[in-house]
Amino acid sequence: MKVLDYINEEEIKKNINYYKELFLQEKIIGIDKFDAYVLDSNGRKKISESVNDFIEKLADCSEREVVITSGNQHLGQDRLSPEDPESDHVSFSSYNIHSDISEVAEPHLTICRLIGMVMDIFTCGPENGKTFFLDREKMFEDTPEHIREWMKQIHIVGRIGEKNHYLYKSLDWNGKIWPLRTMPGIITHPVTGINNFAFSSKKFTVIADDLSLESEYRDFVNSYLSDNNNWITWEWKEGRCIIWDNVNLLHTYSSGWLDDQRVFTRLQGGFITPFYETGLND
Ligand SMILES: [Fe+2]
């Protein structure tokens, strides 16, 4: 992760190619002070148009749609038990591990490369509401060789959340109606060609002709995701921003705030249909 002190409209326009390269190398860019707002006709702050170019350039995918939504909150974040705050933080974060779905027409087919958060309101304590990241290229490298071989023939099916996607409901593996997305067990990065360990959320099923290693695979996933050494921590303050590559990273967040204490603008850009082909780290 690279953390920058400051970014504004002028800086974005001047050094956009530098940021594109930085994003490719670092996968995560943190910014202490994201100052790329303008005032709309009602005198309210909104993200400057130059941020659209910034997201599009950094995302660098053939489907280059940019989506910026303000006023985002997460739900369930007040689930912090006073008796044992530490363990509850851990189980909450673990439960929420995921890669993001896309706010596009066919979310069961696509994932978004670039996701960003700009923290507009943050009034909870610095120990709460952190975001955590895990590198799935490193996870794939750390996977035992025989499991990596086996993963070449699997697909995983994950739930995508029902918030916006009523059109794509289908029966899941428990017979429940839920929108699903399918992806290969290994995903090749569309820009770098580096393979990573596909993972959408903890609720998933595996489809394959050969399911013989599924339990070993699941054991590896569980132990890898529960090892703190594999996670990078980002702490929030108002005005901070983070941008990450959603094709090769997982993220989650810790609990401990009320809805209106942690409100952010969400940035998305560069949509891909996940694919697998022999990659640089096969
Ligand atoms: Fe997310």
Output the six-digit token pair for 16. Answer: 């956009």
162 Cα to the center of ligand 1, angstroms: 14
117 Cα to the center of ligand 1, angstroms: 10
* Angle ∠(47,48,52) on CA atoms, nearest 5: 90
**What is the CATH code for 2-272?**
3.60.130.10
141 Cα to the center of ligand 1, angstroms: 24
Q: Residue 171's pLDDT is what?
A: 63
Q: Residue 106's pLDDT is what?
A: 63
246 Cα to the center of ligand 1, angstroms: 9
Enumerate residues 6+ apart whose C-beta is below 8 A from 105. Answer: none
238 Cα to the center of ligand 1, angstroms: 19
pLDDT bin (cut points 50, 70, 90) of residue 113 is very high
98 Cα to the center of ligand 1, angstroms: 6
209 Cα to the center of ligand 1, angstroms: 31
273 Cα to the center of ligand 1, angstroms: 18
97 Cα to the center of ligand 1, angstroms: 8
Instruction: Spell out the domain ranges in the chain.
Output: 2-272
pLDDT bin (cut points 50, 70, 90) of residue 222 is very high
Q: Residue 130's pLDDT is what?
A: 93
Q: Residue 104's pLDDT is what?
A: 63
Looking at per-residue pLDDT, the higher value among 281 and 133 belongs to 133
Q: Residue 105's pLDDT is what?
A: 59
274 Cα to the center of ligand 1, angstroms: 17
pLDDT tens profile 120-169: 999 988 788 899 999 999 999 999 999 999 999 999 988 766 554 555 55
Q: How many Å apart are CA 125 and CA 236, to the nearest integer?
A: 9
Average pLDDT (54-60) is: 94
pLDDT tens profile 61-105: 877 788 888 888 876 555 555 556 566 667 778 888 999 877 665
Q: How many Å apart are CA 242 and CA 247, to the nearest integer?
A: 15
The values of phi and psi at residue 47, to 5°, are -65, 135
100 Cα to the center of ligand 1, angstroms: 5
Enumerate residues 6+ apart whose C-beta is below 8 A from 144. Answer: 220
Chain-wide mean pLDDT for the chain?
A: 87
pLDDT tens profile 4-19: 999 999 999 999 999 9
Average pLDDT (193-204) is: 92
Looking at per-residue pLDDT, the higher value among 164 and 219 belongs to 219
pLDDT tens profile 28-39: 999 999 998 888
103 Cα to the center of ligand 1, angstroms: 12
Nearest partner of 121 among 237, 30, 38, 39, judged by Cα: 237
pLDDT tens profile 159-196: 766 554 555 556 666 666 666 778 899 999 999 999 99
